[in-house]
């Protein structure tokens, strides 16, 4: 008796949790398929009259600049991820495979840096980026994304340790130099770590708002987050259009999540515990 009661309570709580999670998302989706008139005259829980009314989506993509924003995000992501992989893997290679003067100091520097939250230092970081003449440039974001990502360094360090040293040694006997060992032995063997970093970093960059908000002012260079934020201004009263912008932002992440669930869970939990 208590057993069935417990089971019922368990499923009821799960359903309630799921409704709380999904309802706000569902309503934004309904709204994105309504016309302006319809949005104002129907209740938020009413279903859209035409399930194939994609007019808001085309407008968000073209007039409101979501297309351009996707392009900017992809460019920034591509450059930053290449930098992050080389920086993370290079650091891990040097720290795991070599013993040298100053190694302890470098480890301590990376360790302490994990304690400094990026938001707290932007007041001063801004002056450095500005001093480099990068304010307003996509390079400001690329540099910050690849230069301050300590979590990735740790993911690579941890993984590097599991690559057998005998692989390096065999290559060295055949006369390979350190650069060749790094590029041809280490990097290919780091593939799972690279995949993890690409996924969590990709989602991180895609969702980042604070940095583009501080450093990018040119409307043509805005990435997704800040482009979506701009909807609040000129389209502030067109909720059906804002809704479409929100759904457009969510779809790529949803698709990624459905296909790569396991990697995403692992990536974020290992990322958070670093």
Partner 1 sequence: MTTAPTGLSGPSGAAAEQVTAARASRKGGTGRGPARLRKLTPYLFLIVPVGLLLLLTYLPVVNMFWYSVTDWDGLDKVKNFVGFDNYVETFTDPQTVRVFYVSLYYIVGSFVQMALALYFATILSFKVRFKNMWKGILFFPYLINGVAIGLIFLNFLKPGGGLDTVLMKAGLDGLIHQWTGDPNIANYALAGVSVWRYTGLTFVMFLGAIQSINSDIYEAAALDGATRWHEFWHIILPSIRPIVGLAFILGISGSLSVFEIPYVMTGGSNGTETFVIRTVWMAFNRNMVGLASAMAVVLLVFVLLVTWLQRKLIPEEVDLT
Residues within window 38-77 making contact with partner 1, judged by CB under 8 A: 43-45
- Residue 194 Cβ vs partner 1, minimum distance, rounded to whole Å: 16
Q: What is the Cα–Cα distance from 48 to 38, expressed in whole angstroms? A: 8
DSSP string, 170-202: HHHHTT--HHHHIIIIIHHHTHHHHHHHHHHHH
| Cβ-contact 158, 266 below 8 angstroms | no
State which of residues 60, 76, 142, 157 lies at the interface with partner 1 (CB under 8 A). 157
State which of residues 55, 74, 75, 94 lies at the interface with partner 1 (CB under 8 A). 94
Q: What is the Cα–Cα distance from 253 to 230, expressed in whole angstroms? A: 20
**CA 58, 228, 197, 90 torsion-angle sign:** positive
> Which of 238, 247, 274, 266 is closest to 38 using CA atoms?
238
- The CA–CA distances, whole Å, from 28 to 46, 47, 129, 225, 269 equal 12, 11, 37, 17, 29
Radius of gyration of the chain (CA): 24
- Residue 82 Cβ vs partner 1, minimum distance, rounded to whole Å: 13
Residues 166-195 that bind partner 1 (CB under 8 A): 178, 182
| Cβ-contact 168, 97 below 8 angstroms | yes
Per CB under 8 A, the segment of 27-35, 50-58, 63-71, 190-198 that binds partner 1 is: 27-35
State which of residues 58, 184, 217, 261 lies at the interface with partner 1 (CB under 8 A). 261
State which of residues 146, 190, 194, 216 lies at the interface with partner 1 (CB under 8 A). 146
- Residue 58 Cβ vs partner 1, minimum distance, rounded to whole Å: 19
> Which of 227, 200, 259, 255 is closest to 80 using CA atoms?
200
State which of residues 4, 5, 37, 101 lies at the interface with partner 1 (CB under 8 A). 101
Q: Which is nearer to partner 1, 52 or 179 (CB)?
A: 179
State which of residues 1, 20, 52, 174 lies at the interface with partner 1 (CB under 8 A). 20
Per CB under 8 A, the segment of 48-56, 63-71, 188-196, 263-271 that binds partner 1 is: 263-271
Residues 198-257 that bind partner 1 (CB under 8 A): 203, 206-207, 209-210, 214, 224-226, 228-229, 231-232, 239, 242-243, 245-246, 249-250, 253-254, 257
Residues 103-142 that bind partner 1 (CB under 8 A): 103-111, 113-117, 119-128
Residue written as token pair 């990068």: 134
């Amino acid at each position: 008796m208590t057993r069935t009661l417990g089971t019922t309570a368990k499923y009821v709580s799960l359903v309630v949790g799921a409704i709380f999670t999904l309802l706000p998302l569902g309503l934004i989706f309904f709204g994105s398929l309504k016309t302006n008139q319809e949005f104002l005259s129907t209740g938020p829980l009413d279903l859209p009259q035409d399930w194939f009314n994609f007019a808001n989506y085309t407008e968000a993509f073209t007039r409101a600049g979501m297309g351009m924003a996707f392009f900017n995000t992809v460019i920034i992501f591509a450059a930053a991820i290449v930098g992050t992989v080389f920086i993370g893997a290079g650091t891990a290679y040097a720290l795991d495979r070599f013993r040298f003067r100053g190694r302890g100091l470098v480890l301590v520097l990376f360790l302490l840096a994990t304690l400094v939250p990026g938001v707290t230092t932007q007041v001063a970081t801004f002056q450095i980026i500005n001093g480099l003449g990068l304010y307003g440039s996509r390079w400001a974001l690329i540099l910050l994304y690849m230069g301050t990502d300590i979590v990735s360094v740790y993911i690579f360090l941890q993984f590097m340790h599991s690559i057998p040293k005998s692989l390096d040694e065999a290559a060295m006997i055949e006369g390979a130099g350190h650069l060749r060992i790094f590029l041809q032995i280490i990097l290919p063997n780091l593939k799972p770590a690279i995949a993890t970093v690409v996924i969590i970093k990709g989602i991180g960059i895609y969702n980042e708002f604070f940095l583009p908000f501080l450093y990018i002012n040119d409307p043509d260079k805005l990435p997704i987050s800040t482009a979506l934020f701009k909807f609040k201004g000129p389209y502030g009263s067109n909720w059906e259009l804002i809704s479409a912008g929100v759904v457009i932002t969510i779809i790529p992440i949803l698709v990624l999540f459905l296909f790569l669930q396991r990697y995403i869970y692992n990536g974020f939990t290992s990322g958070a515990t670093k």
